[in-house]
Amino acid sequence: MNDILIITGTCGVGKTTLCLSWAKRRQGACIECDEFRGWIKQKELRRADRYQESLLARQACSLAKEYLQLHLDVALDNVWTPKGLKIIKARLSGKARIRVFWLNCSKEENRKRDKGRSPSKVMGGRVDELQAELEAMRWPGYVIKLDTTGQSPARTLEAIEKRF
């Protein structure tokens, strides 16, 4: 059976880096859901968060099913909320082993990581706002929260692999 890695967390916490590394290690596929947002050119829909996450979850699941049919492990990268995760679990359960990780790090480190991103992706103060929003949500028990403060991507990847 194949594996599906789902990573959520604030902007700049390392979701994409870890998903790409995990997929490369496993010779699998990484679905970067930020790319889906770029396909939408109507500003109202790009900013319609509730609709957008459901749409991204459905798109990610459709693509993941295609990759799973090719016997590839799949990583899904996005700022997922419990609502999006519910859609993904419903659509992909039984098709692969699924592990969901919520990456966190100290506010100082998260801000530093955010500043290190390409200028068009820097979120600035939104990083702290998003972290507060995520912390206020009620998360399902299957979500594994990982503190990556001071951890290299390689070390975090090892912690993730141990849970598969």
Domain boundaries, the chain: 3-161
pLDDT digits (tens, 9 = 90+) for 119-160: 877 777 788 888 899 999 999 999 999 999 999 999 999 999
Angle at 75 between CA 29 and CA 36, to 5 degrees: 85
The verdict on pTM exceeding 0.95 is no
pLDDT score at 34: 80
pLDDT score at 45: 64
CB 142 within 8 A of CB 100: yes
Residue 62: how many CA atoms within 13 Å on its side-chain side? Answer: 8
pLDDT digits (tens, 9 = 90+) for 29-50: 999 988 877 777 777 665 555 5
pLDDT score at 47: 57
pLDDT digits (tens, 9 = 90+) for 93-120: 999 999 999 999 988 888 888 888 878 7
Sheet holding 29-32, edge to edge: 29-32, 74-77, 3-9, 97-104, 143-147
User: 3-161: what fold?
Assistant: Rossmann fold (3.40.50)
CB 84 within 8 A of CB 102: no
97's tokens: 């082993």
In 10 A of CB 2, how many CB atoms?
A: 17
